[in-house]
Structure 1
Amino acid sequence: MVELLDQGIYLLKGQVILKDADKLELAEINNRLAYEGLEPLLEASIEQERARAGTIAFQILADHNRAEDKKNLRLRFDALASHDITYVGIIQTACASGLNEFPVPYVLTNCHNSLCAVGGTINEDDHVFGFSAARKYGGIFVPTHQAVIHQYMREMMAGCGKMILGSDSHTRYGALGTMAIGEGGGEIAKQLLERTYDISYPEVIAVYLEGCPAPGVGPQDVALAIIKAVFKNGMVKNKVMEFVGPGITNLTVDYRNGIDVMTTETTCLSSIWRTDEQVEEYYKIHGRSDAYRKLDPQEVSYYDGLVKVDLSRVEPMIALPFHPSNAWTISELNQNMADILHQVEAEGRKLIDNPNVTFQLTDKIVNGRLKVEQAVVAGCAGGTYENIVAMAQIIGKKSLGEFSLSVYPSSQPVFLELMNNRSIEKLTIAGASIRSAFCGPCFGAGDVPANHALSIRHTTRNFLNREGSKPDNGQLASVALMDARSIAATALHGGILTAATEVDFSSVVLPYTFNQEIYRNRIYQGFGKPHPEEDLVFGPNIIPWPKIRSLPENLLLKISAVLLDPVTTTDELIPSGETSSYRSNPLKLAEFTLSRRDPQYVGRAKAIQKMEQKRQALLEKGQGFEEIEELFLANLEDGQTAEQLQNLIINTGLGSIIFAIKPGDGSAREQAASCQRVLGGDANIAIEYATKRYRSNLMNWGMIPFSIDEDDKGKLSVDDFLYIPEIRKAIENGADKIQAFIINSHGKNAIDLKLENLSRNDRDIILAGSLINYYVKSNKG
């Protein structure tokens, strides 16, 4: 099904894979090409560096690089996108940093907060703010229920050879020839201020597709098979996945989009696909023929690894709680159900680590089959046109009885065409609930199941509490990911897990017509037409970011959380779901930080923050430090003179820090970092960071992304202090390591903290204390 080769390979003419080939002679190459029935090459040899430039990714990155250095890229994007959980903070950051006008098309969608019922008027207040920003600065505003963010970007903004940056982790339009990256809000703000996105040139992994999927096998099945193969070994982490091979031709564009959007769950940086006549037709249907051009690897291209997928061998899949990589074929689960579910229960209980709740799946076994209580198909992954057509073909007008099935078409144009071809009619008569375009079920703000229920979903994630449960209140439900086709087959059988390959149906792809009038009548198209004289409209919940200090000479940090899970998701750092109502209020949102993972964290962080606020107040007044001397005397060197102690207090900032093995998998939401900063956090420590975007978020909020060796993780405990002398000097001077000291009742022990892969710009932002401070300082200077 999926084969991995974690070594460099050459691809000849986009079809022939050559392994272990540092340099090949012309005769060897041409013999292989002749065997494959392809024309010979004219080159006499292959040089690796030249062949690296033969990938599609290289061509697009080179076109968008603003630096002379091809190894350290400084990228500018063609368009930007944000939704209503992120755009308020981004615009506030950019405004505080000197924003005058959106320099490139910036799409503000309203697909995340639109159905939240928490907090009174504040969701709609955010939308009013967003519209006022689109008018003032020249943006594109997509009102609620019109389209989920990524469907709109596919339909209206993607283009072959383009690059798009979005403040949502599933920003992926590779199947449409667009390299897209999901990042935290700070990186969007940089682009709005006409700065660059700075990264080292990423490795590129070939995803070679061959064969044709069997009827009933959908894009989520292919995606889950790939995620299962590459997530845990980190093979594609922070790399570009380039989809090549003859199998692409056997997939429709909607099908490709469905696979592509899930590449986020591999932790790759971005994705890109070769394009063909089907992509050309997609752009023609959407009235944007000029957005198409053919993209292909050059005759010789070099990749840093290979993921080979035989589409004909992919089977219907299910990703059990609590990660998309926890995937099994449905047939495998049915054959070994008790053993697999016991294993998942054991792993899940370790992750939950809460005696107040019980996680159980084996009680869902009925006559040897798994029975689920609810099904949802939604968002950028599930709510696409062909997925819902296939569901209607499987279910027809047969009764679903008491089984709960909700279907969210991804945009109003998709919804209209599903009405026109009567797919909506069939599903509605069968008993499905048809909703509007909304991302809620992906992050716990829609269709929350009952306590202990198991929901199957064609959405992007099934992390712990992603469906909206609250373990601290004794509530726990869970989600398994499946393809829409197998969800329809399961719904048809009253919730008994059923693969779509087990049912007979006509899998004919119905033609699609895109009605542009829907968007023309409703979307605000303001790019290039700013109204600087107009004011931003603030609701009572929209407040500015609190003042953040710059990096002090030394730091004395209280270890306020230690997370020993193999991976810590952004959902655990700052919960999704109902908390999204408070995204525009940093102080209120920060109260939820780590609330479902370590409820005492906020109190610990606030306690040391209060001492830092007192220190700063005394500094401003020029008064003595008697009130806080005890904290320093208890944790630092004995035998200091009064003057030395005073200087130490003046130059040493107090704050909090968390340790996690591998933090940051999942969402691009910058709030996973900014909430720690609002509570006085100065740094994270990790063995490694799960994603570049989380690490970027930390630095853009002035937090230091320390890392340590695996052997040192046992040295860190909650309530210990960490003293880091001369940290400002180390950051300024480009140090890649600094010695710190863990202080507790056992004494004072040294530990080495690594400062890995920090660019000059990263260091300057950390020194300033945040991206906002950095730009304010730059504008003054």
Structure 2
Amino acid sequence: MKLHPQGVYLVNGVLQDSAPAGVTEADARRGTIAHSILEAHNTSGDMANLRMKFDSMTSHDITYVGIIQTARASGMEKFPLPYVMTNCHNSLCAVGGTINEDDHQFALSAAHKYGGIYVPPNMAVIHSYNREMMSGCGRMILGSDSHTRYGALGTMAVGEGGGELAKQLVGRTYDMAYPGVVAIYLTGKPNPGVGPHDVALALVGATYANGYVKNKVMEFIGPGVANLSADYRNGIDVMTTETTCWSSIWQTDEVTEQYFLQHSRPEAYQELKPADVAYYDGCIELDLSTVECMIALPMHPSYAYPIRELKANAKEILAAAQEQANKQLGGKVTMDLVSKIQPDGRIYVEQGVVAGCSGGTYENICAVADILRGQNCGNGAFKFSVYPDSMPTYLELVKNGAVADIVSAGGIFRECFCGPCFGAGDTPANGEFSIRHTTRNFPNREGSKPGEGQISAVALMDARSIAATAANGGYLTAASEVCDTEYTAPEYHFDQGVYDKRVYNGWGHPEPDYALKFGPNIKDWPEQPALSDDLLVKIVSYITDPVTTTDELIPSGETSSFRSNPLRLAEFTLSRKDPAYVPGAKAVHALDEARRAGNLPEEVAKVYAELAKLGYTPDAKATNIGSAIFANKPGDGSAREQAASCQRVLGGAANFACEYATKRYRSNCINWGMLPFLLDTPNVLDNGDYVYLPGVRKALLEAADELEAVAVKPDGGMVKFTVRLGAMTDAERQILADGCLINYYKHH
């Protein structure tokens, strides 16, 4: 794999370092596929500053209640674009009594009232339904799940926090500067046994840490694309999220056309390809024939190794991975990977799972059946489960015998469910090692609770190698080692009737008088204050990890059951990373409540007295008091807006960071009225510090490059420093000034 250190030109399909005579870089930038799609959806008339409207949207049952509640509070009367609400994240998790199904009924009533599309539980995982029914060449789809990626079907899709979807629901636009575009130039053909997850993990391993494609578009081109099936492309594409890119797009061809014919939507196809001359801000050249069967060790998809290399150096690599994981776990619990090496040198795992939008596709499961046909998973500690991505896929797998082959080998065949990807399905025992064809292997993504002394390890692998391991009774085996497998690749027949009989499609037919159905857990968003002239915040969590994931900011799994109750969910904020955060944030919130009541707390009066020594005279009536966190690089992973909203409803007013891991988390902070400060000198802050920001509202609205700040230490010492807010649109600045997106729409 080659990562070019600078931009490249694609001239009639050939990579070049320079442009042909008479062609400027500006002209060539317009030649990418991404440019043509973004231009078609931009309403600003200025391609440098995009203001986009999407063709459709999608959410699942962790996010749609909050989005609809936000849009309702902002004046929405009907869905102005097709909005798909799937129920694939909380369809099995029983924590919380009736609240999961209560939310599903809320979504069904909203589909009636506002004209939406409701996909019942266990019918399809979110991204499979949108691939099958909503994608189309040249379209754009916005989803409130970070893995919203349909680029392999010619559709630019973006995963964002709920606030961005709420904006579309009230007729506003998605605003951002024009992104960079990086070519992923594919050549060659994958070897037998090498699946889409192997290619994806190789790409993630090569790009995540160095930020090569961060917040950019990955554009897949080159002769190697033609050697991949639609399912194979989809499997690579959905994992582009883990590179931290913004979106993805692929050139389309007869394979794409056949996919839409197969799904009875031939009108959705059009050829997409770069112009004769196109300029890319970077380029990754990948010969598919060089990709090996891969494994991503705990606890990130980028910790990727060829399985061959891991087996050859098992003790060294597992010891390093174990040390890295335990450092990240912070001493709460200990992960033991080295013990998985058996006396004969083989690596033993206790669980294999193939599931969701990345693993549960038709071709993946057919390959699993081919490997397991006539085999035996054994009756030891190892267990194996398969979750198909949609009921049409399930039906075809029943018809062609794949389900029978898997079950006959000792595998468990389950329903369409995203749970194994976020910690709500097939939780291993404490200390066990699970290999999964899912999208993520962050801590707690397998369902354990590190804060309560539980830990199990998850590695990501392709379905083929997981099946090979299952056939070998749990001893780690690459699919490339199983040389006698005949991959049958049975033809797929899509039966839309499965959806027609169960999915409610009210798009274009809202019923304004239809009553929304509220379960007892569904609560409105609490009111949030506007930004005051000055601001005083207290650092109540100081996180020194290189990267902080959204799963650490607000854990997934069973906590998601309370997603529709903002204050109840907020009780879990940072609970597995910093249990002191919630009581600390509540204590600061109480200080502000006292201030609003006209009683300046003694703790705050002492801070004011220290600030007076530097000539500052804070006006308590014009100085909100809020909590804040510091993290080096927060927001990697999930798009869930709760990572920010939970801080906000506890009184959070700001994040301080060296950088933000993703655009979507920073957008979540902005939409919930939390100032996303950047600072170059993190050593000036510590946990327990107060930070005073004089004139913050004026500086924000006037787009000041730097803002003045003073850190007041618990011992009375003070440090003056500066912070930045980075590039923002005028609307984003006003959202922050108003206190949150809901307030912004009330006022404007």
TM-score scaled to structure 1, two decimals? Answer: 0.94
Q: What is residue 121 of structure 1 aligned with on the other side?
A: 98
CA distance in 2 between counterparts of 1:425 and 1:283 reads 28
Amino acid of the residue matched to residue 25 of structure 2?
A: Q
- The alignment status of 1:527 with 2:507, answered yes or no, reads yes
Change (3 A) 1:290 1:604: same
Q: What is residue 593 of structure 1 aligned with on the other side?
A: 573
Any residues of structure 2 matched to 1:236-635 within 5 Å, and which? 236-354=213-331, 356-366=332-342, 367-402=344-379, 403-503=382-482, 504-618=484-598, 625=599, 627-635=600-608
CA distance in 2 between counterparts of 1:9 and 1:296 reads 16
CA contact (8 A) 2:632 2:657 kept: yes
Q: Give the superposition deviation at 1:399.
A: 1.6
Q: Show CA shifts across 1:117-136 (max 9, x none).
A: 11000000000101010000
CA contact (8 A) 1:125 1:538 kept: yes
Amino acid of the residue matched to residue 630 of structure 2?
A: F
Q: What is residue 63 of structure 1 aligned with on the other side?
A: 40
CA distance in 2 between counterparts of 1:537 and 1:554 reads 41
Q: Give the superposition deviation at 1:713.
A: 1.4
Q: What is residue 735 of structure 2 aligned with on the other side?
A: 765
Amino acid of the residue matched to residue 647 of structure 2?
A: Q
Q: Give the superposition deviation at 1:636.
A: 4.2
SS of residue paired to 1:370: coil
CA contact (8 A) 2:377 2:474 kept: no
Q: Show CA shifts across 1:630-651 (max 9, x none).
A: 52333444669xxx97x71111
Change (3 A) 1:638 1:255: closer
Q: Show CA shifts across 1:92-116 (max 9, x none).
A: 0000000011011000000001111
CA contact (8 A) 1:52 1:301 kept: yes
Q: Give the superposition deviation at 1:24.
A: 3.4
Q: Give the superposition deviation at 1:746.
A: 4.8
CA distance in 2 between counterparts of 1:546 and 1:747 reads 36
- The alignment status of 1:7 with 2:6, answered yes or no, reads yes
SS of residue paired to 2:145: coil
Q: What is residue 726 of structure 2 aligned with on the other side?
A: 756
CA contact (8 A) 1:103 1:194 kept: yes
Count of equivalent residues: 741
Q: What is residue 42 of structure 1 aligned with on the other side?
A: none
CA distance in 1 between counterparts of 2:131 and 2:644 reads 29
Q: What is residue 135 of structure 1 aligned with on the other side?
A: 112
CA distance in 2 between counterparts of 1:64 and 1:288 reads 22
Q: Show CA shifts across 1:223-259 (max 9, x none).
A: 0000000100000000000000000000000000000
Q: Give the superposition deviation at 1:6.
A: 2.6
Amino acid of the residue matched to residue 727 of structure 1?
A: V
Q: What is residue 158 of structure 2 aligned with on the other side?
A: 181
Q: Name which of structure 1's ranges 242-251 and 723-732 shifts more when overlaid on structure 2.
A: 723-732
Match 1:732 to one of 663, 687, 701: 701
Q: Give the superposition deviation at 1:554.
A: 1.0
Amino acid of the residue matched to residue 12 of structure 1?
A: V
Amino acid of the residue matched to residue 731 of structure 1?
A: L
Q: What is residue 679 of structure 1 aligned with on the other side?
A: 650
CA distance in 1 between counterparts of 2:626 and 2:219 reads 42
CA distance in 1 between counterparts of 2:401 and 2:521 reads 43
CA distance in 2 between counterparts of 1:279 and 1:472 reads 46
Q: Give the superposition deviation at 1:68.
A: 1.3
CA distance in 1 between counterparts of 2:94 and 2:84 reads 24
CA distance in 2 between counterparts of 1:751 and 1:461 reads 38
- The alignment status of 1:775 with 2:748, answered yes or no, reads no
CA distance in 2 between counterparts of 1:8 and 1:409 reads 40
CA distance in 2 between counterparts of 1:96 and 1:608 reads 27
CA contact (8 A) 2:30 2:278 kept: yes
CA distance in 2 between counterparts of 1:308 and 1:177 reads 20
Show structure 1 runs of 5+ residues with no match.
26-44, 619-624
Q: What is residue 27 of structure 2 aligned with on the other side?
A: 50
CA distance in 1 between counterparts of 2:256 and 2:451 reads 48
Q: Show CA shifts across 1:327-376 (max 9, x none).
A: 0000010111111111111111110012x422110000012121100011
Change (3 A) 1:742 1:395: same
CA distance in 2 between counterparts of 1:370 and 1:444 reads 24
CA contact (8 A) 1:455 1:478 kept: yes
CA contact (8 A) 1:573 1:672 kept: yes
Q: What is residue 721 of structure 1 aligned with on the other side?
A: 690
CA contact (8 A) 2:376 2:473 kept: no
Q: Show CA shifts across 1:589-617 (max 9, x none).
A: 00000001000010110001011112223
Show structure 2 runs of 5+ residues with no match.
none
CA contact (8 A) 1:84 1:126 kept: yes
CA contact (8 A) 1:635 1:743 kept: no
CA distance in 2 between counterparts of 1:401 and 1:341 reads 25
Q: Show CA shifts across 1:175-220 (max 9, x none).
A: 0000000000000000011100001000000000000000000000
CA distance in 2 between counterparts of 1:319 and 1:535 reads 47
TM-score scaled to structure 2, two decimals? Answer: 0.98
Q: What is residue 650 of structure 1 aligned with on the other side?
A: 621
Identity %: 58
Q: Give the superposition deviation at 1:12.
A: 1.4
Q: Show CA shifts across 1:398-440 (max 9, x none).
A: 2211221110000000000001110001101111111110000
Amino acid of the residue matched to residue 415 of structure 1?
A: Y
CA RMSD of aligned residues (A): 1.1
CA distance in 1 between counterparts of 2:597 and 2:98 reads 36
Q: Name which of structure 1's ranges 192-201 and 609-618 shifts more when overlaid on structure 2.
A: 609-618
CA distance in 2 between counterparts of 1:544 and 1:639 reads 40
CA distance in 1 between counterparts of 2:705 and 2:683 reads 22
Amino acid of the residue matched to residue 34 of structure 2?
A: A
Change (3 A) 1:431 1:638: closer
SS of residue paired to 1:17: strand
CA contact (8 A) 1:6 1:304 kept: no
CA distance in 1 between counterparts of 2:207 and 2:575 reads 30
CA distance in 1 between counterparts of 2:574 and 2:310 reads 33
CA distance in 2 between counterparts of 1:755 and 1:714 reads 18
Q: Give the superposition deviation at 1:508.
A: 2.8
Q: What is residue 24 of structure 1 aligned with on the other side?
A: 20
SS of residue paired to 2:619: helix
CA contact (8 A) 1:635 1:721 kept: no
